[in-house]
Chains A and B, each alone.
Chain A
């Protein structure tokens, strides 16, 4: 029962964060320059009657809090409003753009984990060896490499010189799996490079610290083989930092791949956000921010749960 109460409290706190974020966004869009009515009506906006009519229709004449309340009510039922410029429903737009972003993000995260965990284990096991130094240096270089700089290099080498992958464009999964994979190969590579570097360094660092612990010495004195100790004794207690950043990145990546989406011309959520911001399409901006914040908060909630599964000492105290 106590565990359940802890879970519910945590959920409520997270909900509060999402609400706060959406409120903040909402307020910002109201306070900032740029009149949505002008955006919608264009030249007709100088006509006061038309303005009044549109204003009333969109509910823009109501007091601030009422507008926010209406927004929330609609959002709860899945109605995030309609884009001022494109006349599509926000939810439709999001549904169009999410698949590409999700594909990029999930592929990048999974691949990074698959590479970084064994790499970090080997690196920690052979700490200070030449192989480890090479790995550490490479990862250090990769985290200093800006994504778009690397993208430039990749496009030059693999798209233009070798012609293995297209330089720009995105093919939907439903159209052709092979073409889809080819179109995202380069952006995913850029993401994987950065993510793997960070994850490897995090895990390696924590593993080396764990390997100094007494219980590892005890496990060795039992005659257990090295891989067994690495995998079964050292990995679990060392995974917390990795898990934390992994969770944070789910939030960061949805929006953060904006640069890559622009460079490789991939229709994703990040691009949607930018375009909407530039076009002063506030409702869409709000919708995007809401979705991202919710995803971020949900993922971190699951990460918290994972903490308590991985470390039984955390379970007792409820919240970390």
Chain B
């Protein structure tokens, strides 16, 4: 592997520093729009070390994509407000100028985007899209860059690289295009990779290949990786740690095995339950989570998941639960009546007794009830949102 020599001024980062590569603390990204302040990311904290993978899971609207892009600093505009801290290798990313951030992009951190059809330039040859980064950052001549590009294409598993390198994106299949975007992202040897829903736009058969490729590259290069997805199945077994996001906040974070074994937050439980399992008999109804994600301009007071939660109690609707530690170290969650505890079980029974739609829907898997939950969340939006 070539050691990247950045030809431009870089933030004063010392390579091989002790401690986590990426430290995010109370990170917030708000958008000042005509309708109000959209709090897309509202207080996220985590840390990531080299060679480790963090999975960020959430529905659309949870803020996970905004999180990845705004940590990198890709979002610009006068209405984007970032607060909190995100430090890479000791350097603070929040508040840094675009030009100093640009010095990091490509060489220190990179991103793989969701749809390879739109993230590749349709009128530029594949090879050129790889070599332009190499030539700009590493200052190497054209044929050397070409050689490296060929090697890269090989390493991401593209057969017949010599022919492919002069082709255009539309001449490749979806899976191959995504391999190319991975090759482009890894070209200059970044230490941190953001993978934003890398398999969502691909066929199921190809998904596993791409995920395996990412894992393999990560190990070979000893990279840190943030894997953003809405699919818990994607992160199971591929990540060291998982953070579940809801309405702009992390609602549960744990080492992977712990999360699946000792889930605490009801939202996570609902996500787990909604994964169809092979062992279930055919025609089993799919578990859905009734209701919609909350309004990000005026989120409900109290727990943001409460309107849809089977365990919700009056306290949940008025007091926002803080992140608490569970028994296993490294496991935090946000819930007053967590799953798997006595308090939680009682809360659920109380709700069932009172025929709360969310509880009944969760327990029986009844879709009609889930629709009732939809109404409830709408009411919560209308009234719970401020004035």
Query: Which residues of A approach B to under 8 Å, CB–CB?
Result: 213-215, 217-225, 228, 232-233, 236-237, 310-313, 316
Contacts and interface: CB of A to CB of B under 8 A. Distances in A.
B113 A223 contact: no
Given A215-B120, A313-B168, A220 B113 contact: no
A223 B136 contact: yes
Contacts of A232: 124, 132
B72 interface: yes
Chain B interface bracket (under 10, 10 to 19, 20 to 34, 35 or more):
20 to 34
Interface of B: 72, 74, 102-107, 110-111, 113, 115, 118-124, 132-133, 136-137, 168, 170, 181, 184-185, 188
A223 B133 contact: yes
Contact of A221 (B110, B122, B170): B110
A310 B124 CA distance: 10
Given A214-B113, A215-B122, A219-B121, 15 more contacts: A215-B120, A217-B113, A218-B113, A220-B105, A221-B74, A221-B105, A222-B184, A223-B133, A224-B106, A224-B136, A225-B102, A228-B132, A232-B124, A232-B132, A237-B122
Contact of B74 (A217, A224, A310): A217
B77 to A, nearest CB: 10
A255 to B, nearest CB: 34
A223 B105 contact: yes
Contacts of A220: 74, 102, 105
A225 B132 CA distance: 11
Closest 4 CB pairs of A and B: A223-B106, A223-B105, A214-B118, A222-B106
A274 to B, nearest CB: 43
Contacts of A310: 123
B168 A221 contact: no
A83 B266 CA distance: 92
Given A223-B104, A313-B170, A218 B120 contact: yes
A236 B105 contact: no
Contact of B111 (A215, A221, A236, A316): A221
Contacts of B184: 218, 222
Contacts of B115: 214
25 contacts: A214-B115, A214-B118, A215-B118, A217-B74, A218-B113, A218-B119, A218-B120, A219-B121, A221-B185, A222-B105, A222-B133, A222-B188, A223-B137, A224-B106, A224-B132, A224-B133, A224-B136, A225-B102, A237-B121, A237-B123, A311-B122, A312-B122, A312-B168, A312-B170, A313-B170
Contacts of A228: 132, 136
A147 B74 CA distance: 45
A220 B103 CA distance: 11
Contacts of B122: 215, 237, 311-313
A223 B111 contact: no
Given A214-B113, A310-B123, A223 B74 contact: no
B170 A223 contact: no
Nearest to A310: B123
Contacts of B111: 218, 221
A223 B111 CA distance: 11
B247 to A, nearest CB: 24
Residue in A232, A236, A312, A313 whose Cβ sees the most chain B Cβ within 10 Å = A312
Contacts of B107: 223
A301 to B, nearest CB: 21
Nearest to A313: B170
B238 to A, nearest CB: 22
A287 to B, nearest CB: 41
Contacts of A221: 72, 74, 105-106, 110-111, 185
Nearest to A236: B123
A223 B103 contact: yes
Contacts of B72: 221
Contacts of B132: 222, 224, 228, 232
A233 B128 CA distance: 11
Contacts of B120: 215, 218
